[in-house]
Homo-oligomer: A and B are copies of this chain.
Amino acid sequence: MHTREACLAADRQDPLAALKHQFDLPPGVIYLDGNSLGVLPKAARARSAEVIDQEWGVGLIRSWNTASWFDLPARLGDKLSRLIGANDGEVVVTDTTSLNLFKSLAAALRIQQQDHPERRVIVSERDNFPTDLYMIQGMIDLLQQGYQLRLIDDATPLEAALGDDVAVLLLSHVNYRTGYLYDMAATTALAHRHGILTLWDLAHAAGAVPVDLNGAEADFAVGCTYKYLNGGPGSPAFIWVAARHQDRFWQPLSGWWGHQRPFAMATDYQPASGIRRFLCGTQPIVSMSLIECGLDVALQADMTAVRDKSLALTDLFIELVEQRCADHPLTLVTPREHARRGSHVSFSHPQGFAVMQALIARGVIGDYREPEVLRFGVTPLYLGYADIWDAVDTLKDILDSGSWDRPEFHQRASVT
């Protein structure tokens, strides 16, 4: 596709093209940041009015039963399970990804403590999303039981990091910065050969790439609903545990929602059977209810078609940047190999921050990640081929003209 016309023709052939009409996209914007915050499903507007006016305003306390608020974490979990190769009763939507990491890490460590108490190393990746590392560090600091964090990096490849001293391997299925995609089945099998339990962070994978947790025989997983699943800003996260661990898992954030009989008001904690014991406290019902609108759109799309389009769009993005911006110091960060690529494309540029600000000012919204990385999320549910063309066209113009080099584009907000 070397012309905009060819892109438009591809859009006309796109079997997923109609889905974008189920979202409200802001005018004048090409949104390449759906891997940070997904867009607004049109259905969310009516759903929020229903939850606020009727369920809260009129139903009030009765809505815990009549509007099934109590069931939301498990009901949304069942819907979400279809997108990640899980079964009904294996997923709940609740809390945040960071907190769910803490719960599942505690559960995995407890299983290992019982079976292999000598294993005191948690392996993760130096380039993992920082909160994953921070939560591990917090757990180690809290336990004071001699646990250590070992990081995979250039000096320590995955194979070298895994040994008989390792309890848990915690990886992101898709790397937040590079877009690198792990082979979940092969990596899990490798970990299992070493007696190691796996904990997968699906933040940049759920809804973005095919995920088959049960097929991969994974142990634990957590993830995010506000990126590719379009659940809304900060919408609650999810947590999955393999059925074979359901009778054994234990987690320390043992609030009343995870109790077998939350309203018996018993003095002692008795965990609910199944995945519900991963619940802790009362959930933010308005934010949580809106997740269903995004899930319902995602469930209309065949994941094979989503993956095909994602690869076609990321291929196109890479190809156009390399052809049309060849004179500029852009370096591809994302793997070229399809099997190793998630659904976003990253290029580094020495002035990445300013270039991204210039793009955003022109309505091409991607984001910037330290160091020097321009990150472009590719979301097949609402992006087309011509969008990619236009985005690269704008990038080319900004780079050719040098218009990124203005004072306002170098200015960093307090939080960026």
Contacts and interface: CB of A to CB of B under 8 A. Distances in A.
Nearest to A64: B415
A6 B196 CA distance: 73
Interface in A45-84: 45, 48-49, 52-53, 55-58, 60-65, 69-70
Contacts of A102: 252-253
Interface in A230-275: 232-237, 250-259, 262-269
B145 A60 contact: no
A281 interface: yes
Interface residues of A, number: 95
Interface stretch (A126-134, A296-304, A337-345): A126-134
A45 B144 CA distance: 48
B33 A256 contact: no
Nearest to A177: B265
Most B C-beta atoms less than 10 A away, residue of A61, A70, A252, A367? A61
Given A102-B252, A142-B252, A232-B285, 13 more contacts: A24-B53, A55-B233, A64-B415, A65-B414, A96-B255, A97-B281, A98-B255, A99-B253, A131-B281, A135-B255, A237-B281, A264-B370, A284-B286
11 contacts: A26-B58, A65-B415, A65-B416, A69-B234, A70-B415, A95-B99, A96-B282, A133-B269, A232-B284, A236-B284, A286-B287
Interface of A: 24, 26, 29, 31, 33, 36-37, 39-40, 44-45, 48-49, 52-53, 55-58, 60-65, 69-70, 95-99, 102, 106, 126, 129-131, 133-135, 137-139, 141-145, 151, 177, 226, 232-237, 250-259, 262-269, 280-288, 290, 360, 365, 367, 369-370, 413-416
